[in-house]
Amino acid sequence: MKKHVFIVLTALVLLSCKEKPEHLTAKNTTLSGPVFGTSFKVIYDSEVNYSKAIDSLFQVVNQSMSTYIPSSDISRINKQETVDIDLHFRTVLNKSKEIYQSTDGVFDPTIGAVVNAWDFGPEGKIVGLDSLKIKALMKGVGFDNIDINKTQFSIPEGTFLDFNAIAKGYGVDVISEFLESKESLNYLVEIGGEIRASGINMEKQLPWKVGLDEPRFDGQQSVIKAISLKDVGMATSGTYRKFKLDSLGNRYAHIINTETGYPSKTNILSVSVIAEDCMTADAYATAFQAMGIAKVKSFLKKYNQLKAFIVFENEEQELETLNLNGFPTD
């Protein structure tokens, strides 16, 4: 679901070579597999296998909010049907409204039709896309145009709702909260690079350690830095693998500017955001890509509970990094 993001879990075994004291007998369970068009990994401090329950939760979230499933609630809503939405949909809808307002509309899930038109979404691109067609599509954009308080939910004609910039992070939170309900308070949940970590790795008696990818255009993968996470969610939005080039060689991100309807031109290659939960981090990582560095700096002075790590190209086309609000350095 939604954009590609680029965080990799570092090899936890290599980070914990110390022998475990004999009196420590905690065992982790590790589950992994495909989900939401990407992959997941869950590590938690119990020997109980929750794979069936976790798979069921994934199916419920997918059926609620996946634009890639024709029969999902969101797909039906986008076909102008009126739907009794579930708690998952309601939670993401309310959080989207909150972040739409805090970012002055930079984060706007109603941009879906324009995302599709540029061939970045689940539906086919518009051939011969021009300024007139974009202007027509933009008439359906605007989160203020929908009533989020309806029990039976619907959207105006011409609007296409797309939660792909927040739903993957929400999926991480759903699994995390399930584990907490089972009294597994030491866990790491990762879906396609979006992460939530709680406690420590009990089996290794060490903090959870994750790596952030170095932006590379050659398709190779390398870690730019490794950090420890505890009791937070983290998400990354990257543009270096999904972008368009114009005739002058200018690179445009897959994130659409909600004011113009055009892909965002940016020198930001990736943004990692740490927040209280992964859903919040996921949405803000997308918004920060579209804002640009100056606006992100200003925004984070007010919202100092968020932490951000930005990798960008300077005027000499060299990589630079920026830590904001105390983003972890190791």
C-alpha dihedral over 305, 214, 311, 143, to 10 degrees?
-60
Bridge partners (DSSP) of residue 252 are 244, 265
Query: Over 50: is that where the pLDDT of 37 sits?
Result: yes
Domains delineated in the chain: 1-229 (3.10.520.10)
Radius of gyration of the chain (CA): 20
Identity (one letter) of the amino acid at 47?
Answer: E
Can you tell me the distance from the alpha carbon of 80 to that of 86, in angstroms, rounded to the nearest whole number?
17
Can you tell me the distance from the alpha carbon of 86 to that of 82, in angstroms, rounded to the nearest whole number?
13
Both tokens of residue 255?
Answer: 């994130």
Helix, coil or strand: residue 143: helix
Tell me the torsion sign for CA atoms 250, 256, 258, 262.
positive
pLDDT at 40: 98
Both tokens of residue 116?
Answer: 């599709």
Strands, E assignment, the chain? 7-9, 29-35, 38-44, 83-84, 152-153, 187-191, 194-198, 208-213, 223-229, 232-238, 243-245, 251-256, 263-265, 268-275, 307-313, 319-324
pTM attached to this predicted model: 0.86
Q: Where are the alpha helices (DSSP H) in the chain?
A: 51-65, 73-78, 87-102, 112-117, 131-138, 167-181, 278-291, 293-302
User: What's the number of CA atoms in the CB half-sphere (13 Å) around residue 60?
Assistant: 15
- The separation between the first and the last C-alpha atoms of the chain, rounded to the nearest angstrom, is 29
Nearest alpha-carbon partner for 268 in 280, 281, 283, 286: 286
In Å, how far from its chain's centre is CA 213? Answer: 15
pLDDT at 5: 41
pLDDT tens-digit series, residues 39-75: 999 999 999 999 999 999 999 999 999 999 999 999 9
Helix, coil or strand: residue 103: coil
pLDDT tens-digit series, residues 114-158: 877 877 766 666 667 788 888 888 788 899 989 998 878 999 998
Tell me the torsion sign for CA atoms 3, 212, 295, 95.
positive
pLDDT at 12: 37
Query: Over 80: is that where the pLDDT of 264 sits?
Result: no
DSSP state of 298: H
Both tokens of residue 300?
Answer: 């984070």
pLDDT tens-digit series, residues 155-191: 999 899 999 999 999 999 999 999 999 999 999 999 9
Nearest alpha-carbon partner for 191 in 235, 131, 150, 226: 235
Are 130 and 261 contacting, i.e. CB atoms less than 8 angstroms apart? no
